[in-house]
């Protein structure tokens, strides 16, 4: 087994390799003067089971291209099997036609990854579960919920908790976490007048006197979660904490979260933290490296991965 790290999140790749007791495979991934991506694998990978770690986060197009060219390089180097380990799968929010004459970009990206030479994909908390069906190769979609459950139980022991979904689309995710924590569930009734803008209409559920745990898969602009936190406080919640798998944090999201009623926002390290995230007073990261490493080990050993979902 060999681990190859692209450039989007090298610290996570190093942590995964360390958890497996392996060195990272020597590879050169650089740019020509016109910013074309060039990849060279500096070790023999013929007949090897190779895992390429690359989140397709900002800059999404550059990181996606790095992944595709690395997959192609490994295929042409006669690797026995190549698994694309994509902790954050970019373009996942474009999983359906949102209007006339619009693309389904998540399907296009799935096709590109397959055509580039991936035999399998390992990812975490896809924005829409049906994206697994966009691939014609096996896809393992891990969940951050077990990590979040343990962290919440340690940090908020003794508090009267309530899990809250920030919109109707996240109810399944929130209900699963509520079941793990044996707590009640509330839902934010949200309207989105245009992309990147959200308005809270109602809070469905009795949140008064409870410490609310908002759960979501992606925080981008932060508007949805900040508005939801304000609505919960107005409805009598004692406090609001947030757990999100992928911290995109575009634009002024970090400042927006810092100025909101959110006591603490916990994100995973599926996306490399920016300096603004690292110095934020109410944003913290927990690592998914042990979980990803165990999944990689089981895929390589041809053993069951499904028990990691629990």
Catalytic residue numbers, as ranges: 190
What is the rounded CA–CA span in Å between residue 14 and residue 22?
A: 9
Inter-axis angle of helices 10-20 and 289-301, nearest 10: 60
For residue 116, report the phi and psi dihedrals to the nearest 5 degrees: -70, -20
What is the rounded CA–CA span in Å between residue 228 and residue 256?
A: 13
What is the rounded CA–CA span in Å between residue 216 and residue 268?
A: 12
Q: Residue 140: CB partners within 8 Å, gap ≥ 6?
A: 120, 121, 122, 123, 295, 299, 305
- Our CA dihedral for 14, 16, 21, 22, rounded to 10 degrees, sits at -60
What is the rounded CA–CA span in Å between residue 274 and residue 59?
A: 13
What is the rounded CA–CA span in Å between residue 228 and residue 239?
A: 12
């Amino acid at each position: 087994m060999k681990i190859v790290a692209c450039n989007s999140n090298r610290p996570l790749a190093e942590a995964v390799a360390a958890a497996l007791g392996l060195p990272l495979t020597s590879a050169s991934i650089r740019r020509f003067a016109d910013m074309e991506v060039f990849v060279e694998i500096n070790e023999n990978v013929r007949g090897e089971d190779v895992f390429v770690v690359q989140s397709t986060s900002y800059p999404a197009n550059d990181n996606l291209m790095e992944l595709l060219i690395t997959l192609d390089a490994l295929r042409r180097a006669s690797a026995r099997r190549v698994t694309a380990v994509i902790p954050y799968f970019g373009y996942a929010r474009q999983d359906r036609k949102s209007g006339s004459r619009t693309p389904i970009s998540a399907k296009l990206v799935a096709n590109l990854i397959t055509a580039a030479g991936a035999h399998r994909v390992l990812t975490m908390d896809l924005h829409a579960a049906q994206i697994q069906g966009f691939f014609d190769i096996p896809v393992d979609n891990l969940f951050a919920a077990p990590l979040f459950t343990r962290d919440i139980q340690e940090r908020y022991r003794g508090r009267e908790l309530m899990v809250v979904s920030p919109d109707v689309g996240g109810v399944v995710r929130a209900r699963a976490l509520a079941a793990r924590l044996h707590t009640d569930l509330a839902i934010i009734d949200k309207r989105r007048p245009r992309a990147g803008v959200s308005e809270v209409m109602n809070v469905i559920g009795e949140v008064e006197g409870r410490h609310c745990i908002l759960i979501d898969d992606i925080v981008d602009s932060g508007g949805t979660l900040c508005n939801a936190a304000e609505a919960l406080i107005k409805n009598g919640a004692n406090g609001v904490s947030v757990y999100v798998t992928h911290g995109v944090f575009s634009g002024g999201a970090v400042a927006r979260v810092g100025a909101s009623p959110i006591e603490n926002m916990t994100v995973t390290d599926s996306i490399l933290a920016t300096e603004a995230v690292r110095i934020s007073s109410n944003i913290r990261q927990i690592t998914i490296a042990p979980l990803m490493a165990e999944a990689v080990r089981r895929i390589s050993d041809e053993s069951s991965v499904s028990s990691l979902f629990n």
